[in-house]
Amino acid sequence: MQPPETPAAAGPFSPSEREAVYRAIFTRRDVRSQFTDRPVADDMLMRLLTAAHHAPSVGFMQPWNFIVIRSASVKAQVQSAFTRANTEAAAMFPKERRKDYTALKLEGITTAPVNLCITCDRTRGGDVVLGRTHNRDMDLYSTVCAVQNLWLAARAEGLGVGWVSIFHEADLRAILNLPEQVVPVAYLCIGHVDHLYETPELQVKGWQARLSLDDLVFAEHWGNAAPLPDPLPRGS
């Protein structure tokens, strides 16, 4: 039997380390049109995948897999699936918003050097998983944590990431040959960027503004306002 592992010291990061973490959070953007054609080096991609693989997961089930896509032909199939779904999506919005919607560029599938599909294997860990006994979807939530880890690591590396969500799941399944028990959680476009919007692109283009944190934090019960310190940290 191995001796119990000695816990590592837990303390705050140095001010510069802490600032770097918050900088990655506050300057992360959903990238659609700013990708350059510079290739993503294999070692850099591996750092992103390693960061994603170190995300928290309920019951340590680690339900994710990563499908790395560089093939122009596969990207073209995914682009076609997006275009079909996006045409349907445009028709769902009220007429007064439809023109604004169609003016938005919502993907960088063929311009990003790397596409990545992060999936969730819903059978990983067996029928009964610690922490998922009463919420079946904890595996999906865990996979989203892997997405966020990768996204922040990419920002620190100077890479942009765009999450493309406008698909019929059946189309992605067919293109990527996904097994029945595997769910595509995030289809990401990844590449080098030279510039990023200072504020989210959808806010810049008038689609939506960031909600006030003051209106979103309650105390003890839903609806009980919780006054927050002023000034709040700047998040953009």
What is the structure's pLDDT at 231? Answer: 59
What is the structure's pLDDT at 5? Answer: 81
Give the side-chain half-sphere CA count within 13 A for 210: 11
What is the structure's pLDDT at 236? Answer: 35
Report how far residue 21's alpha carbon sits from residue 234's, in angstroms, rounded to the nearest whole number.
Answer: 14
Does 35 share its domain with 78?
A: yes
Does 180 share its domain with 217?
A: no
The answer to whether residue 128 is domain-embedded is yes
The answer to whether residue 149 is domain-embedded is yes
Does 187 share its domain with 216?
A: no
Cα–Cα separations (whole angstroms), residue 218 to 148, 213, 235:
25, 10, 19
Does 97 share its domain with 181?
A: yes
Give the pLDDT of the chain (236 residues) as one tens digit per residue: 677 788 888 899 999 999 999 999 999 999 999 999 999 999 999 999 999 999 999 999 999 999 999 999 999 999 999 999 999 999 999 999 999 999 999 999 999 999 999 999 999 999 999 999 999 999 999 999 999 999 999 999 999 999 999 999 999 999 999 999 999 999 999 999 999 999 999 999 999 999 999 999 999 999 999 888 875 555 43
**Residues β-bridged to residue 30:** 161
Does 231 share its domain with 159?
A: no
Give the side-chain half-sphere CA count within 13 A for 95: 0
Task: Provide the residue range defining the domain that includes 181.
Answer: 30-196
Cβ proximity of 185 and 143 under 8 Å: yes
Cis amide leading into 231 (omega within 30)? yes
For the chain, the first-to-last Cα distance in angstroms comes to: 50
Cβ proximity of 41 and 53 under 8 Å: no
Q: Around Cβ 78, how many Cβ atoms within 10 Å?
A: 24
Report how far residue 228's alpha carbon sits from residue 230's, in angstroms, rounded to the nearest whole number.
Answer: 6
The answer to whether residue 111 is domain-embedded is yes
Does 190 share its domain with 214?
A: no
The answer to whether residue 162 is domain-embedded is yes
Does 188 share its domain with 217?
A: no
Number of domains in the chain: 2
**Residues β-bridged to residue 64:** 120
Does 85 share its domain with 175?
A: yes
Q: How far, rounded to the nearest angstrom, does the alpha carbon of residue 159 sit from its chain's CA centroid?
A: 13
What is the structure's pLDDT at 177? Answer: 98
What is the structure's pLDDT at 235? Answer: 44
Does 167 share its domain with 236?
A: no
Does 124 share its domain with 180?
A: yes
DSSP state of 30: B
Does 52 share its domain with 85?
A: yes
The answer to whether residue 20 is domain-embedded is no
Does 134 share its domain with 181?
A: yes
DSSP state of 15: H
The answer to whether residue 140 is domain-embedded is yes
The answer to whether residue 23 is domain-embedded is no
Q: What is the CATH number of the domain that holds 58?
A: 3.40.109.10
DSSP state of 216: T
Q: Which two tokens stand for residue 225?
A: 């306002």
The answer to whether residue 7 is domain-embedded is no
